[in-house]
Amino acid sequence: MRDKEGFDLWADDYDKYVGVTEEANSYPFAGYKDVLGDIFKEIMTKENVRVLDLGFGTGTLTSKLYENGCEVWGQDFSQRMIELAKEKMPEANLFQGDFYSGLVPEIAEKEFDYVVATYSMHHIDDERKVPFFREVLSHLKEGGKMLIGDVCFETAEDRKQASIKAGDEWDNDEYYIVCEELRKSFPDLKFEKKSFCAGIITLER
């Protein structure tokens, strides 16, 4: 659920919560380190890249890219998350805005080598995802990639089984991607599973 005030309140404890559920290999963050690590390694195959992070949170991934010479841009709807991320990346270009409504003007003027979205696209409902992804892809340089690391699944059956495993912890207010459905709009979509409930989706321009 997209709740700006909720994320502001949760911001200071967010990394701790992620760590607890990741270490327990439980929903929703099972596979979290592998997701972020593999996205980082993909981006580090190139030099002098401009990266846009949508929903960067406290900057867990983006700060590592920043430290390794990437030009970092980002959009998040939580002012507190932005404040925490700025402490790690004082020279990054970070803007507040709900990406459900699209990219903020400062970002929409730019082109990027990579767009990353880790554990943020599940806040966008399925009807809005396709036009938003098309908008984002239009801001990639030729050969650029959008890398989505999130709770996502290859098939609807995989999502069903994950929900059963998660039990009462499952969040019915979030919109998890099922790749076999999204390929109807993006036939070249690639998916790499990282845990029973997470993976990396790659869309290329």
pLDDT tens column, 75-113: 998 999 899 999 999 999 999 999 888 999 999 999 999
Please check whether residue 170 is in contact with residue 163, taking contact to mean a CB–CB distance below 8 angstroms: yes
Q: Is the pLDDT of residue 5 over 80?
A: no
Domains and CATH numbers, the chain: 4-204 (3.40.50.150)
The answer to whether the CB of 106 falls within 8 A of the CB of 95 is yes
Secondary structure (DSSP) of 116-142: EEES-GGGS-HHHHHHHHHHHHTTEEE
DSSP 167: G
**Band of residue 25 on the pLDDT scale cut at 50, 70, 90:** confident
Supply the DSSP symbol for 8.
H
Task: Give the C-alpha separation, 119 to 81, whole Å.
Answer: 14
Residue-wise pLDDT for 52-74, tens only, equals 999 998 899 999 999 999 999 99
* pTM reported for the whole predicted model: 0.90
